[in-house]
Amino acid sequence: MKAITKNILVAPLNWGLGHATRCIPIIQELEKNGFTPIIASDGIALLLLQKEFPHLESLEFPSYKIEYAKEGKDFKWKLIKNIPKIILAVFEEKKIIKELVNKYDLKGIISDNRLGVYSKKVPSVFITHQLNVLSGNTTWISSKLHQHFIKKFTECWVPDFQESRNLTGKLAHLRNSSLHLKYLGSLSRLEKKELVYKYELMVILSGPEPQRTLLEEKIIDELQNYNGEVLFIKGKVENNKKKEIIKNITFYNFMTSKEIENAYNESKIVLCRSGYTTIMDLAKLEKKAFFIPTPGQFEQEYLAKRLKRNGIAPFAKQDDFRIENLLEIEFYKGLKQFKATENWKQLLILFQSE
């Protein structure tokens, strides 16, 4: 008797590492519940997931070829210039999906912000924490456009809490919506451990170039005046892991999930971007942090301001950051874990074949 395939395509957007890393617990839950995930992405997102799940089949999808502005004020206009390339990639995704549904006998699709990765033949899920897409004076248009794409999916899974005590604020909460939304709770690949501190400060970078490199150079320059032990993870996923120790700073180009979990738990405070996946990780680990939003990225600026306003963590603009700013952390309460994630068995019923 032929075994019933339970293949699920998991396709995160390659924009920094956040979309890929938050798919890690989803892939793990799929395997626990008897499904076979097939990974699809491009660039460093694909490379990261291949390193995390070397036993799973992986496919390379079209790149959105998003170019990031060097100056924060140019971010929105650079993104607008990218739109034709994004549309082309979305059309290519649609063509590929038509072939893959039959080739792999897919029972479902999970897309983290890949707009063309869905099918009418199988249940398709879109993952996002941005039901409202902040873009300054064009927020209304960008939000409606994003919601238009989300409606093409069977369900939209939101990695946050539905109630008023949540992490995203207005990003992931709509007053009225016809979208089929399911809130997952906080989504993190990491676990809190009681470990002895080895590092006074952990620096973890992420996000697209050139802003990742600009921040790396800025922080390294500022660390010349810092005496404590520092763990510095550059967020550069490459074929081989590299370690370098210079004075009081231990550098890594990247770490696996298990290594990063230990690194967080062995570090007293964290300096990082205010990307949402990072915030979910910090909440799960109940860490104190200082944030530097990516210049011009409205979402990260909003999250950083919201956390500061709520007395949770301080932040500074990239150009304004000085190492002395880290002293502000002690006056904030830090991130706290909320409640357990949604019942995965209930969520994954969507993909059970009749």
Contact 292, 313 (CB under 8 A): no
Calculate mean pLDDT across residues 43-51: 94
Consecutive H or E run containing 9: strand 7-12
Q: Above 50 in pLDDT, residue 1?
A: no
Q: Above 60 in pLDDT, residue 32?
A: yes
Contact 270, 283 (CB under 8 A): no
Percent of the chain with pLDDT over 90: 73
Contact 9, 110 (CB under 8 A): yes
Token pair for 40: 């699809």
Where does the pLDDT of residue 341 fall: very low under 50, low under 70, confident under 90, or very high at 90 and above?
A: low
Pairing relation of β-strands 36-41 and 124-127? unpaired
Backbone angles phi, psi at 252, to 5 degrees: -130, 145
Calculate mean pLDDT across residues 275-283: 95
Q: Above 70 in pLDDT, residue 76?
A: no
Closest CA to 127 of 51, 222, 19, 229: 19
Backbone angles phi, psi at 181, to 5 degrees: -95, 140
Q: Above 50 in pLDDT, residue 202?
A: yes
Range 248-264 burial, b when 16+ CB lie within 10 A, else e: ebbbbebbebeebbebb
pLDDT tens-digit readout, 102-152:
999 999 999 999 999 999 999 999 999 999 988 888 888 889 989 999 999
The confidence score (pLDDT) of residue 70 equals 58
The confidence score (pLDDT) of residue 176 equals 81
pLDDT tens-digit readout, 182-199:
999 888 999 999 999 999
Tokens 């034709």 correspond to 84
Tokens 């002293």 correspond to 327
Token pair for 229: 């032990």
